[in-house]
Structure 1
Amino acid sequence: MRYNSLLDEFLDIHYDHPAPAHDIEPAFIVDRLKKPTGKVAAVLDTDAYNEIDDQYAIAYILRSPEVIDLQAIYAAPFQNKKAATAAIGMERSYQETATILKLLGKEGQMAGKVFRGSDQFLADAYTPVESPATRDLVARAMARPDGDPLYVIAIGAITNVASALLMQPAIARKIVVLWLGGHALEWFNTKEFNMLQDVSAARVLFGCGVPVVQFPCKGVVSALTTTGPEVDYWLKGKNPLCDYLCDITHQEAAFNRQGPFWSRTIWDVAPVAWLMDMDCTETRFEPAPIPSYDGYYSISRCNHPILYVYSVNRDRIIGDLFTKLAR
């Protein structure tokens, strides 16, 4: 009995399929994952109050209107020392998004386009958590022309996006998901914040066949660091937004007790930079990994492909970001 129990537990952790079998052809996925040219329609899913990189990403998008037509922002749940529950994390992210929009002078442009997301993480890989954000994503995605997908820039736990995919599986052919989540395939584990917050949602994302560009954290996007002297030199005094970003970057370093010699990773700008017309990432196709609940990947070479980012050009991305923010 003890052996059977351990075997069942192992199979559940590693091999239980995260979503119903899909009929999306690998050729469709590969074609849909070609890097777009010109302006794209996009939505942003963000846990904006969690760290300070989301604020940079929101501003980066809205300072790049020639490339990204931002149609909606969704507040994502998170839970840690800044938020005792996922619901509190989502609400604080919603409020922080409003702060950034005000500093950017974009409250009018985005009026009625910022939505509260899920107030809890998925209980399993089959049951969605409905919210204003998930309903808007389903409606917005289904309205897209077949050959013109909606780009979903997701920089938090993937709860909202996974819920929308469970609510309406047909949107998998209507969207491309750019997700900052998990660690590099070569990393010794994948105990990364966005993934560990909602492993069930990550299993939905990688299991349902939706075209995904994955931006792993440790081992890849961890290259996107900046320091106090650097943000002060390039951003301080340029405009109210830049002053705010400088202040919260310094505060985050103090909050995490990093001492006088510190750097912070601006993780969340990586998916935004991928959409820009510059050579700043290296990618390859990989079979979709299967996130396990114990913090590791299982790999099946038979799985459908995802586009995997394995290198980022730190200087090019940070340079483009700071130049646009300091306008």
Structure 2
Amino acid sequence: MKFEFDIPESKKIRVIVDTDAACEADDPFAIAHALLSPKLMVKGIIAEHFKEAGSMERSYHEIETILDCMGMDVPVLKGQEGPLSDEEVGLSQSGDEHAGCSCSDRTDDNISEAVRFIIDEALKEDEKPLYILCQGAITNVAKALLVEPKIKDKITVIWIGTHGEAPCKAPFTEFNATNDIPAANTVLQSGIDLWLVPSHVYITVNIGLAEIQRRIRPCGRIGEHLFRNMVDYNMSPFAGWTQGESWSLGDSPAIAIAINPGCGHYHYAKAPLVAEDTSSEVKEDNPIIRIYTDVDSRYVLEDFIAKLEINYG
């Protein structure tokens, strides 16, 4: 690192990044931001599925590509291969005989290495708090909670997902929630320390392709990868919903908020229940969570670009 400043040791936090990195083109920007931020002690990066066959593996390989481009070595873990099943959620809620058992005692083949990693890191004796920064479906966190409920009081989850406080009719299908609605509701109802960044907030972190070309592309192999990956995806049929020459780096607030929780406004309200169409519905017995109402996109983008320029420019 080429920073000419230090971070007080007491300010540093442990983080695990949970990402569907190969899904669209914004996750890689957020991953790089986390890796370049000295406050964040990145303990591991978890590959998340996006409800397509082989999608978790594709995310895994994209994470490896990002690390190679940055010349960094961080543990990369394979997550659950797909959404939670109704059986998985139902067994836990009905008092599955395994619920609450130590993960190391479980023989369930459906527990991924990522879920084991979350549980092990959460249960470590460490004075530094643990944050899980979720940039996609929230399957891995939900599975970890179902396997080992004791981690609930040992982690903070920042999730990019849902349409926010209920009631709210879905203006569009919210991608991260819809990729595993049972997992979304498992986490929302769990009582975990959850900081939610809903759709009307994360779509505001806008950047033009021209700015990516001028300011990010020159920053070494990672800059070239971020630019080329974005441009290629923008020209693909999967990007038909975009505006053409701009993008919302919607996953980046998870990183920026971990660095600076005050980079946006928030309030506390009941967690929503995610309906099948991803509308937010009222569920009176849901716990209170932190819900962000805006983020400072200037801070989010400039902090990332400055760190890229300092280290790779």
TM-score, structure 1 normalization? 0.80
What's 1:157 paired with?
137
Encode CA deviations 1:235-287: one digit per residue, 9 max, x unaligned: 12221111111111111211125799421111111011012248421111011
Give the distance between the partners of 1:260 and 1:272, measured in 2 at CA.
24
Give the distance between the partners of 1:275 and 1:298, measured in 2 at CA.
27
Cα distance, 1:135–1:235 mapped onto 2, change above 3 Å: same
What's 1:309 paired with?
292
Is 2:229 the partner of 1:267? no
The equivalent position to 2:76 in structure 1, one of 109, 114, 128, is 114
- CA root-mean-square deviation: 2.0
Is 2:185 the partner of 1:203? yes
Encode CA deviations 1:195-234: one digit per residue, 9 max, x unaligned: 00100000110111111000112x1111001111111121
Q: Which amino acid aligns with 2:142?
A: A
Give the distance between the partners of 1:305 and 1:167, measured in 2 at CA.
23
CA apart distance, 1:314: 1.3
Is 2:97 the partner of 1:131? no
CA apart distance, 1:140: 1.1
What's 1:7 paired with?
none
Is 2:19 the partner of 1:38? no
What's 1:215 paired with?
197
Give yes or no for contact 2:267–2:292 (8 Å, CA) kept in 1.
yes
Give yes or no for contact 1:163–1:201 (8 Å, CA) kept in 2.
yes
CA apart distance, 1:96: 0.5
CA apart distance, 1:191: 2.5
The equivalent position to 2:146 in structure 1, one of 166, 169, 172, is 166
Gaps of 5+ in 2: 1-9, 93-109
Give the distance between the partners of 1:187 and 1:300, measured in 2 at CA.
12
What's 2:57 paired with?
91
Q: Which runs of 4+ in 1 moved over 6 A?
A: none
CA apart distance, 1:326: 2.3
Give the distance between the partners of 1:127 and 1:72, measured in 2 at CA.
29
Give yes or no for contact 1:235–1:246 (8 Å, CA) kept in 2.
yes
Give the distance between the partners of 1:96 and 1:191, measured in 2 at CA.
25
What's 1:76 paired with?
48
Give the match's secondary structure for 2:203: helix
Gaps of 5+ in 1: 1-36
Give the distance between the partners of 1:260 and 1:306, measured in 2 at CA.
32
Cα distance, 1:258–1:131 mapped onto 2, change above 3 Å: closer
Identity, % of aligned pairs? 29
CA apart distance, 1:93: 0.4
Give yes or no for contact 2:206–2:248 (8 Å, CA) kept in 1.
yes
Encode CA deviations 1:7-46: one digit per residue, 9 max, x unaligned: xxxxxxxxxxxxxxxxxxxxxxxxxxxxxx7110111111
Give the match's secondary structure for 1:201: helix
Give the distance between the partners of 1:49 and 1:262, measured in 2 at CA.
20
Give the distance between the partners of 2:273 and 2:241, measured in 1 at CA.
34
Give the distance between the partners of 1:71 and 1:259, measured in 2 at CA.
33
User: How many residues are treated as equivalent by the alignment?
Assistant: 278
CA apart distance, 1:302: 4.6
